[in-house]
Structure 1
Amino acid sequence: MRPTTLNYPVNPDYGNGACCRRITVDAADGQVTAYLTDTFHEMRCTVNHDGEIITAISGETIRIPTSACPGAVGQLRMFVGLPIATPTREFYRGTLAARHCTHLLDLAVIAVRQCGRPYGTTRYDAEVPDETSGETTMEIRRNGEQVHRWLARDGRIAAPAALRGRTLERGFAAWASEIFDADDFEAATILARTWLIAIGRRYRVADAAGQPASMNPQMFGRCYAYSMPNITTAVFTGEPERNVPPRI
Structure 2
Amino acid sequence: MVQITCGDGVVDAHLSDTFHEMRCRVRHNGEVVTAIEGETIRIPTTACPAAITVLQDLVGTRLDLPGRAFYSGGRARRHCTHLFDLAVLAIQHGKQAEGSCRYDAIVPDETDSPVAITVHRNDIEIHRWLIQDATILHPPALRGNTLDRGFAAWATLHFADGALEAATVLARTWLIALGRRYLIEQAAGQPITQNAQMAGRCFAYAAENAQAATFTSGSIAIQPTLEGREVTYRRGRIRTA
Determine if the TM-score, normalized by the shorter chain, exceeds 0.5: yes
1:30-60 alpha-carbon deviations (Å, 9 max, x no partner): 0000000011100001000000111001110
Which position in structure 2 is the counterpart of 1:165? 144
Of 71, 74, 83, 1:92 maps to 71
1:152-174 alpha-carbon deviations (Å, 9 max, x no partner): 11111011111000111221011
Give unpaired runs (5+ residues) of structure 1.
1-21
Once the two structures are TM-superposed, the CA of residue 240 in structure 1 deviates from its matched residue by 4.4
Contact 2:47/2:213 (<8 A) preserved: yes
Give aligned pairs, total: 223
Once the two structures are TM-superposed, the CA of residue 135 in structure 1 deviates from its matched residue by 2.2
Of 36, 48, 51, 2:15 maps to 36
**Structure-1 separation of matches of 2:131 and 2:214:** 32
User: Partner letter of residue 156 of structure 2?
Assistant: S
**Structure-2 separation of matches of 1:181 and 1:240:** 34
Using the aligned pairs only, state the percent identity: 53
Which position in structure 2 is the counterpart of 1:241? 220
**Structure-1 separation of matches of 2:211 and 2:87:** 27
Aligned runs of 1:68-79 on 2, under 5 Å?
Answer: 68-79=47-58
Which position in structure 2 is the counterpart of 1:198? 177
Aligned runs of 1:11-30 on 2, under 5 Å?
Answer: 22-30=1-9
User: Partner letter of residue 113 of structure 1?
Assistant: Q
Contact 1:205/1:240 (<8 A) preserved: no
Query: Is the aligned partner of 1:141 residue 2:111?
Result: no
Contact 2:42/2:219 (<8 A) preserved: no
Once the two structures are TM-superposed, the CA of residue 225 in structure 1 deviates from its matched residue by 0.3
- Runs (4+) of structure 1 exceeding 6 A deviation are none
Once the two structures are TM-superposed, the CA of residue 238 in structure 1 deviates from its matched residue by 2.0
Which position in structure 2 is the counterpart of 1:64? 43
Structure ranking higher on relative contact order (CA contacts 8 Å, 6+ apart): 1
Which position in structure 2 is the counterpart of 1:17? none
- Look up the SS of the partner of 2:69 in the other structure: helix
Are residues 134 and 225 of structure 1, via their aligned partners in 2, closer, same or farther at CA, if it must alter by over 3 Å? farther
Give unpaired runs (5+ residues) of structure 2.
224-241
Query: Is the aligned partner of 1:122 residue 2:87?
Result: no
Of 180, 203, 227, 2:159 maps to 180
**Structure-1 separation of matches of 2:186 and 2:137:** 34
Which position in structure 1 is the counterpart of 2:233? none
Query: Is the aligned partner of 1:229 residue 2:212?
Result: no
Are residues 240 and 107 of structure 1, via their aligned partners in 2, closer, same or farther at CA, if it must alter by over 3 Å? closer
1:212-241 alpha-carbon deviations (Å, 9 max, x no partner): 001111111111001111111110002242
1:91-129 alpha-carbon deviations (Å, 9 max, x no partner): 111111110000001000100011021211100000110
Q: TM-score, with normalisation over the residues of structure 2?
A: 0.90
Which position in structure 1 is the counterpart of 2:193? 214
Of 24, 28, 34, 1:45 maps to 24
Contact 1:134/1:154 (<8 A) preserved: no
Once the two structures are TM-superposed, the CA of residue 89 in structure 1 deviates from its matched residue by 1.2
User: Partner letter of residue 84 of structure 2?
Assistant: L
User: CA-atom RMSD, angstroms?
Assistant: 1.2
**Structure-2 separation of matches of 1:109 and 1:178:** 20
Which position in structure 1 is the counterpart of 2:62? 83
- Look up the SS of the partner of 1:81 in the other structure: coil
User: Partner letter of residue 74 of structure 1?
Assistant: T
